[in-house]
Amino acid sequence: MITPPSGTGNMYPVIELNGVTRVYGTGTAAVGALQGIDLKIEHGEFVAVMGPSGSGKSTCMNILGCLDTPTSGAYRFKGIEVGKLSRDQRALLRRHYLGFVFQGFNLLNRTSALENVELPLIYRGTPATERREMARKALASVGLNGWETHTPAELSGGQQQRVAIARAIVASPEVLFADEPTGNLDSARSREIMELMTVFNRDRGITIVMVTHDSDMASYARRIVRFMDGIIDKEEQNGS
Amino acid sequence: MFLETILIAMREIKRNVMRSSLTILGIVIGVAAVITMVTVGDGATRQVAYEISSLGSNLLDVRPGQSHRGPGGTRSGAPMFKIADAEAIERDVAGLAGVAPITGRSSQAIYGNENWATNITGSTNNFLQVRNWVLSGGRQFTDGELRAGAAVCIIGATIHKQLFGEQDPVGRTIRLEKISCQIIGEFKSKGQSGFGTDQDDFVLMPLRTVQRRIVGNNDIFSISVSAKDGVSTEKVKEDIERLLRERRHLGKKEEDDFNVRDMQEIVKTLTGTTRLLTALLGAVAAVSLLVGGIGIMNIMLVSVTERTREIGIRLAIGAMEKQVLMQFLIEAVVLSCFGGIIGIILGIAAAAAGASALKVPLILNIGIIVIAFVFSAAVGVVFGFFPARKAALLDPIEALRHE
């Protein structure tokens, strides 16, 4: 397991990007998806990342989620430089500090809601009874009491996304990354999901970074970061 | 961590019963084939050995003619034995349990309207002991009958079945060639011999009766000799050969004009042949096990592609490379072990069916069962590794995007 420098507390921001670039391909075919990003996200923030397709926001999310590493520049997660970690070390970082919610839900098929939510705990090595209890509580916290044994195919889109959120927060992550979490849902379902996320952000202090196209959804966030052509075009605070 | 990985692998197998059963089908068939072949083969080997030993324990067969001419060519030129030869062997060779001079020929046995082509054998009561025959009814020849060449006979089980059906034949009279012959006894059935001939299809008459009234000469067709337990048949064979060379006045440079066959040698040759055959069949079956392994690899590879997104999810959630590798490897090993177990059960069932169909004893070879199982597990490791590695090395971002 990767631990941040001891005694640091919240001395470091959760996320800190300094001049991060990401180039795909080499030579003349090289495409710079990110061209120097500076970004700082503090504990407990709710940040929406917006921008048109190809603006680099997905690339940036992959780097923030420790699924990818910068070509140059530094990404520090709680003070740890992620670019210098091995693949497995980054897996451990994700396991212990990060949660993911995807546009396509990405639940395991033919697998009950409870077992889907248990998944991150299995990799953490949580004992079975404790694991089941935690998963049940997480499902309850997203309003899916009594749906434990249903498989994704038996759940509506909104319910599937709730299961995905339960899976993302069951291990109490530091940061929840949501990639267009409402992209496949109607507006009523979308608002429910956003409210759930707001609750987790406010009550549990989970930092949320969310990519969205929809400015209604972005309005739930306290800060909006707009990408354009591989750089951060502008940042704005939500008034509310 | 290892336990968790096993748990994950087991869950995945359980979730996909159809895919899992298709995956293991090759292994199941391979293991079942190996076990069936080897078990039936072992049974056949045992059966051959048993049947040959039922001809008589420590049996030596002495015939005129040269051994390398093969059967059929034996009589040409070489003088036949006489009763004195058998008596000389009995008198001069040490360590014998019995000597039976034998003559005979094929003929018809007639009872009422029934008629059956069979073999008439002429010998003494020693024949029973030397060739391991037991009476199921009636009695042996009396000395008087043997000396006088009386028209009496002991019949084999096949004659009973063909001519008398359910009736008790003892005391009745059958016609053999021109003589009416009283049945005084009946042999207990031995069934088919290892060579595929019916051992029960013969009529035994006193030697003298057959010589005088059936064959019409004083020749002895062969002499069956049995050595006492613990006496080397090798030694007895040498002694008989030396004695007969002397009696037949063969010079030092002359070849034997007779041959002494040691049944134990024949047992060895025949069981050796069946063993070789078993090994060959087992090897063919082992190839199908290998093909089964490739089947596992094939389906695991397809399964990795099909499950790319699942792998992406696991990697994103925090599975390490080696955990994904282990998951797929364990899935392959568990599947192939499971296939191995089912294959063993099926193989034993098929072997039992095959053994009873071929009338050979069912002998379970624990060694081959263990080997088949270990091999199927090894197949899982070897053929599961490549797909597992492919899964573990997937890029989580690409894998998550996979449709």
Report CA dihedral (B319, B320, B322, B325) to the nearest 10 degrees: 40
What pLDDT, on a 0 to 100 scale, did the predictor assign at position B187?
92
- Among A114-118, B265-269, B387-391, name the one with the lowest average pLDDT: B265-269
pLDDT at B58: 80
Residues of chain B with C-beta less than 8 angstroms from the C-beta of A110: 15-16
Is the predicted pLDDT of residue B57 greater than 80, yes or no?
A: no
Q: Record the tokens describing residue A172, joined without a space.
A: 């109490």
Question: H/E/C letters for each residue in chain B?
Answer: CHHHHHHHHHHHHHHCHHHHHHHHHHHHHHHHHHHHHHHHHHHHHHHHHHHHHHCCCCEEEEEECCHHHCCCCCCCCCCCECHHHHHHHHHHCCCEEEEEEEEEEEEEEEECCEEEEEEEEEECCHHHHHCCCCEEEECCCCHHHHHHCCCEEEECHHHHHHHHCCCCCCCCEEEECCEEEEEEEEECCCCECCCCCECCCEEEEEHHHHHHHHHCCCCECEEEEEECCCCCHHHHHHHHHHHHHHHCCCCCCCCCCEEEEEHHHHHHHHHHHHHHHHHHHHHHHHHHHHHHHHHHHHHHHHHHHHCHHHHHHHHHHCCCHHHHHHHHHHHHHHHHHHHHHHHHHHHHHHHHHHHHHCCCCCCCCHHHHHHHHHHHHHHHHHHHHHHHHHHHCCCHHHHHHCC
Cα B167 to Cα B44: distance, rounded to the nearest angstrom: 34
pLDDT given at position A239: 63
Does residue B56 surpass a pLDDT of 70?
no
Contacts of A167 in chain B (CB under 8 A): 317
Q: Which among A67, A110, A120 has CB closest to B15? A: A110
Residue B4 pLDDT more than 80?
A: no
β-strands B179-187, B258-262 pairing: unpaired
Is B4 near chain A, with CB under 8 Å?
yes
Say which range, A223-237, B129-143, B144-158, B285-299, has the weakest mean pLDDT. Answer: B285-299
Residue range B365-391: average pLDDT?
87
pLDDT of residue B68 exceeding 60, the answer is no
Q: Read off the pLDDT of residues B223-272 as tens digits, 9 standing for 90 and up.
A: 999 888 878 888 888 899 999 998 888 888 888 888 888 887 777 788 88
**Residue B174 pLDDT > 70, yes or no?**
yes
Asked if pLDDT for residue A77 goes beyond 50, the answer is: yes
Helices A113-124 and B2-15: angle between axes, nearest 10 degrees: 160
Q: For the whole model, what pTM was predicted? A: 0.69
The confidence score (pLDDT) of residue A7 equals 46
Q: Could A88 and B4 be called an inter-chain contact, meaning their C-beta atoms sit closer than 8 Å?
A: no
pLDDT at B234: 84
Give the closest-approach CA distance of A235 to chain B in angstroms: 26
With H, G, I as helix, E, B as strand and everything else as coil, classify residue A233: strand
Instruction: With a cut of 70, say whether residue A5 has pLDDT above it.
Output: no
Average pLDDT over residues B290-297: 82
Q: At what angle do helices A113-124 and A87-97 cross, to 10 degrees?
A: 120
Task: Report the chain A residue with the minimal C-alpha distance to residue B322.
Answer: A88
In the predicted structure, residue B332 carries a pLDDT above the cut 60: yes
Q: How many CB atoms lie within 10 A of CB A202?
A: 11
Identify the closest residue of chain B to A95 by CA–CA distance: B318
Q: Which pLDDT score is estimated for B343?
A: 92
- The ranges assigned to domains in chain A are 45-66+88-237
- The answer to whether the beta carbons of residues A198 and A166 sit under 8 Å apart is no
Burial of B133 from C-beta contacts in 10 A (0-12 / 13-18 / 19+): buried
Torsion of the alpha carbons at A77, A96, A204 and A112, rounded to the nearest 10 = 140
8 A C-beta contact, residue B63 and residue B241:
no
Averaged pLDDT for residues B296-324 = 88
**Which residues, 6+ apart, have CB-to-CB distance to A112 below 8 Å?**
A148, A149, A150, A151
Across chain B, mean pLDDT equals 86
Which residues, other chains included, contact B25 with Cβ-Cβ below 8 Å and sequence gap of 6+? Answer: B292, B295, B339
Is the separation of the CB atoms in B81 and B259 below 8 Å? no
Residue from the list A62, A106, A115 with its beta carbon closest to the beta carbon of B313: A106
Determine the pLDDT at residue B297: 82
Each residue's pLDDT tens digit, B93-145: 888 888 999 999 898 899 988 889 999 999 999 998 888 888 998 899 999 99
Cβ distance B4 to A122 less than 8 Å, yes or no, reads yes
Range A45-66+88-237 has CATH code 3.30.2130.10: no
Nearest to B7 among A91, A107, A122 (CB): A122
pLDDT at A10: 66
Instruction: Tell me whether B357 touches chain A (CB under 8 Å).
Output: no
Percentage of chain A with pLDDT > 90? 78
Question: Are B34 and B228 spatial neighbours (Cβ–Cβ below 8 Å)?
Answer: no
Which pLDDT belongs to residue B334?
A: 87
Percent of chain B with pLDDT over 70: 95
Q: Which pLDDT does position B52 carry in this prediction? A: 72
Calculate mean pLDDT across residues B201-226: 91
- Residues B210/B177, Cβ–Cβ less than 8 Å: no
In sequence order, what are the residues at sequence separation of 6 or more whose Cβ sits closer than 8 angstroms to the Cβ of residue B152? Answer: B141, B145, B181, B182, B183, B184, B205, B206, B209
Q: Which of A106, A115, A112, A107 is nearest to A150 (CA)?
A: A112
Secondary structure in 3-state letters for B132-160: CCCEEEECCCCHHHHHHCCCEEEECHHHH
DSSP single-letter state for residue A84:
G
- Would you say A179 and A214 are in contact if contact means Cβ atoms under 8 Å apart? no
Please spell the DSSP secondary structure of A104-164, one letter per residue: T--PPTT--HHHHHHHHHHHHT--HHHHHHHHHHHHHHTT-TT-TT--GGGS-HHHHHHHH
Neighbouring CB atoms inside 10 A of A46's CB total 21
DSSP character for A206?
Answer: -
Q: What is the pLDDT of residue A43?
A: 93
| Average pLDDT of span B193-214 | 85
Q: Which of residues 67-96 of A touch B (CB under 8 A)?
A: 67-68, 87-88, 91-92, 94-96
- Which among A149-163, B23-37, B162-176, B284-298 has the top mean pLDDT? A149-163
> Could you tell me the CA-to-CA distances from A93 to A182, B102, B105, B339 in Å, in that order?
26, 93, 94, 38
If pLDDT is split at 50, 70 and 90, which confidence band does B275 have?
confident
Q: Say which amino acid occupies A213.
A: H
Contact B15 A91 (CB under 8 A): no
Q: Report the range out of A53-67, B22-36, B42-56, B362-376 with the highest average pLDDT.
A: A53-67
Kindly provide the b/e burial profile for residues A20-42, where b requires at least 16 CB atoms within 10 angstroms of the residue's own CB: bbbeeeeeeeeebbbeebebebe
With an 8 Å Cβ cutoff, is B124 touching chain A? no
Alpha carbon B225 to chain centroid, angstroms = 25
pLDDT band of residue B73 (cuts 50, 70, 90) is very low
Strand A175-179 versus strand A207-211 pairing type? parallel
pLDDT of A68 > 50? The answer is yes
**In the predicted model, what is the mean pLDDT of residues B20-47?**
87
Which chain B residues are closer than 8 Å to A67 by Cβ? 316, 396-397
Q: What is the DSSP letter of A103?
A: T
pLDDT over 50 (residue B75)? no
Q: What is the pLDDT of residue A207?
A: 96
Of all residues in chain A, what percent are helix, strand and coil, respectively (each to 5)? Answer: 35, 25, 40
Token pair of A131, please?
Answer: 């694991």
What secondary structure letter does DSSP report for A28? G
- Say yes or no for a CB contact (<8 Å) between A123 and B318: yes
